[in-house]
Structure 1
């Protein structure tokens, strides 16, 4: 019981970091108004944060891989608390942007440590359960933290919403300090051994797939509030409710992913961009109508978190012999996808209008499908099963 309590603390820590990264999506209209900037400029809060994570992802987990995991987590969360407080009092947009980018470089470190620490605390048979519990923090931060921050900003103030980010991370810092034991690294892999996985073509195909999947998701999701405001003409409170709906169905998507990836990983991945493409097409066609959008948003939430799970599985299953580094690669290239998707989505808004972010998403989904087919055709189903099993054992 004590071990699972610690795993939930790790999940809450992941939630706090993702909440800091993605929570601004729900308050982008308020930030734009506060600092007198455009929606595409405000999108830099998401895209540059993600770019910093993408740059740090392959490097920082390697550098910290030999350090006591508890000390590493406290260092990262402490930096996030400080940056969140600075964000509350930022006098201009530049200061706000810098306050978000600095801690982003340690973002992938906490992720790698949390996933591996959770796996090491349970028996091999329960590794999947442990890591899925930590991944719930990712899901919660992506799809629940956003509507909460939006609701706070809409009902209280923008500053109160930014305080929410700080308080969540402060709670995590306190919980880790008092309840998580010292976690020295027992067996440290050499940098060379970890980097050697980059020689595998499977890893690079997986990386490209993860970038395209996340680009497809964030070409639209980064401007979720803007879309519902400009195209569907929903009020701030209605948008908050839609974000909550998105979050609730997103949790269901996480549960679905656990079962589908365990039983039929390759078919799930192959079907995913096709189904998501249908949803994006319907969002484009019926975006002006509230009732159809409510239904579409519910399905969209399920597919969103399924995509996150597919992304994490896709890379970690390709490099099971180096779990720390593999999780770092996942965080890095998922965030690179966020950066690319947000940038292209913003460009479509500037050039064609908010509604056309759906077209950007469809383009990336088409690329994702091609890459998934390539991996599925190059590696037989038997190989995929063996890879997946090795990933569970070595995570």
Structure 2
């Protein structure tokens, strides 16, 4: 088991997540700067995610025939461009456009990095290697995302993009220096990849992913705005909450990776229960700061492995299609990000920000229903699940 490639992929994931989700902590400042409503500022996240959802599988199929190292480098280069241009505070329409650019290759990077990480590894080690790559999400939550938010609270929101650019440049250099040339030895046909769309268990797993991510992001997309308005926290305190959120996520991703090796369905369901627990805890924590801090810690622990759980859950139904299945997991997950952000923004405008967590509870219940639907389908087929 060669972990080096997995750690390189994880560093790139750090750059990817810093760019995609680093915007969350500064959405209120961006809304103020451009004199727009918070739900409109949320387009910077929802449109990014929507582009991934619409183009991810196609771009992954196209890129699947090219050298994996070059694909990863090109993907990270677009993230560098986004960070640099965004720093100069362009008009909102241009900011939105440069945010879109790396979205086209984000799922390509993730699926390629995972494929590189697990290549040649025994099945019993694959989930652990995947968790190393996905640990880039947790590390971003504990380092770059809160630090960018904190920096923006001291100066102005544009300085958060300096962090994004630095991380992306560092990732580019490491990938270029460490990874060897990785040409694709066996080029599979498009029809081979697309055949998984005929698998009903895979389709149910996909719907579960959409509901789960929609649930989490209906509130998480507005993390800073929610804590600021519903819990009366300052920008500095919010940056500390993002740090705590990430700290808990670092632990939970590694724990989830080991748990997934034992039972995919039970692990996914366990963390999915957080979509019901967290809205209830947020409601009953009221304005008590100490209680809210505890809830944020639990929130970070239960939320962070969601993308790892979703990818593993979907791949477990079609284990011989790892790269394309993961691309679909990334794309449909980002459809959930987009839906959650848009629905959450709509609730904030119409019902008030304190009500937004209840959207998460509703979609969490739908996701849990999909998990049990898959279990029933697998039992009906009278085939023992490979990973569950």
Give the alignment's TM-score, normalised by structure 2.
0.95
C-alpha deviation, 1:275, in angstroms: 4.2
Residues 270 and 373, structure 1, Cα contact 8 Å, conserved in 2: no
How far off is 1:7 after superposition?
2.7
1:236 correspondence with 2:239: no
Once the 2 structures are TM-superposed, how far is the Cα of residue 146 of structure 1 from its aligned partner?
2.2
Residue 354 of structure 1 is matched in structure 2 by 353
The alpha carbon displacement at 1:272 in A equals 3.8
Structure 1, residues 340-366: CA drift from partner, whole Å, max 9, x if none? 011110011001111111111111011
Measure the CA separation in 2 of the matches of 1:336 and 1:384. Answer: 30
| 1:40 matched residue in structure 2 | 39
State the partner residue of 1:227.
Answer: 226
Matched residue, 2:251: 252
**2:381 is equivalent to residue 386 of structure 1:** no
Q: Distance in 1 between matches of 2:273 and 2:122?
A: 37
| Superposed counterparts of 1:76-87, under 5 Å | 76-87=75-86
Q: Which moved more, 1:261-270 or 1:351-360?
A: 261-270
State the alpha-carbon separation in 2 of the partners of residues 384 and 51 from structure 1.
Answer: 35
Q: For residues 125 and 279 of structure 1, what CA distance do their matches in structure 2 show? A: 32
Partner of 1:89: 88
- Corresponding residue of 1:393: none
Shift of 1:269: 3.1
Please tell me whether the aligned partners of residues 268 and 310 of structure 2 are also in contact (alpha carbons under 8 angstroms). Answer: no
- Distance in 2 of aligned mates of 1:373 and 1:379: 10
> Matched residues in 1 for 2:102 and 2:134: separation?
20
The 8 Å contact of residues 79 and 165 in structure 2, kept in 1 or not, is answered as yes
More displaced stretch, 257-266 vs 291-300 = 257-266
1:177 matches 2:176: yes
Q: 1:252 to 1:380 in 2, by over 3 A?
A: farther
Structure 2 spans left out of the alignment, 5+ residues: none
In 2, distance between residues paired with 1:98 and 1:119? Answer: 34
1:61 partnered with 2:71: no
* 2:356 counterpart SS class: helix
Superposed CA RMSD: 1.9
Whole-angstrom CA distance in 2 between matches of 1:238 and 1:123: 44
Alignment of 1:131 with 2:133, yes or no, is: no
Distance in 1, Cα, partners of 2:341 & 2:98: 20
Equivalence for 1:370: 369
Checking the alignment, whether the CA contact within 8 Å between 2:138 and 2:249 is kept in structure 1 is yes
1:303 match: secondary structure: helix
TM-superposition CA deviations, 1:224-272 (whole Å, max 9, x none): 1001100110111111111101000111211221233222332333344
Counterparts of 1:78-157 in structure 2, within 5 Å, are 78-120=77-119, 122-142=121-141, 144-157=143-156
1:189 equivalenced with 2:188 (yes/no)? yes
- Aligned twin of 2:311: 312
TM-score scaled to structure 1, two decimals? Answer: 0.93
The alpha carbon displacement at 1:74 in A equals 1.2
Shift of 1:336: 0.2
CA distance in 2, matches of 1:287, 1:265: 35
Give yes or no for contact 2:264–2:313 (8 Å, CA) kept in 1.
Answer: no
User: Match of 1:168?
Assistant: 167
CA displacement, residues 166-224 of structure 1 (integer Å, 9 cap, x when unaligned): 11111111112222110011111111111001100011101100000000000010011
| Structure 1 unaligned spans of 5+ | 389-395
Change over 3 Å in CA distance of 1:302–1:186 after alignment to 2: same
In structure 2, the CA distance between the partners of 1:30 and 1:210, relative to structure 1 (3 Å rule), is same
What is the rounded CA distance, in whole Å, between the counterparts of 2:16 and 2:181 in structure 1? 21
User: Residue 143 of structure 1: CA displacement?
Assistant: 5.5
SS at structure 2 position matched to 1:288: coil
Distance 2:139 2:314 in 1: 21
| Matches of 2:103 and 2:14, distance apart in 1 | 14
Shift in Å, 1:8: 1.6
Q: Is the 1:14–1:134 contact (alpha carbons within 8 Å) kept by the matching residues of 2?
A: yes
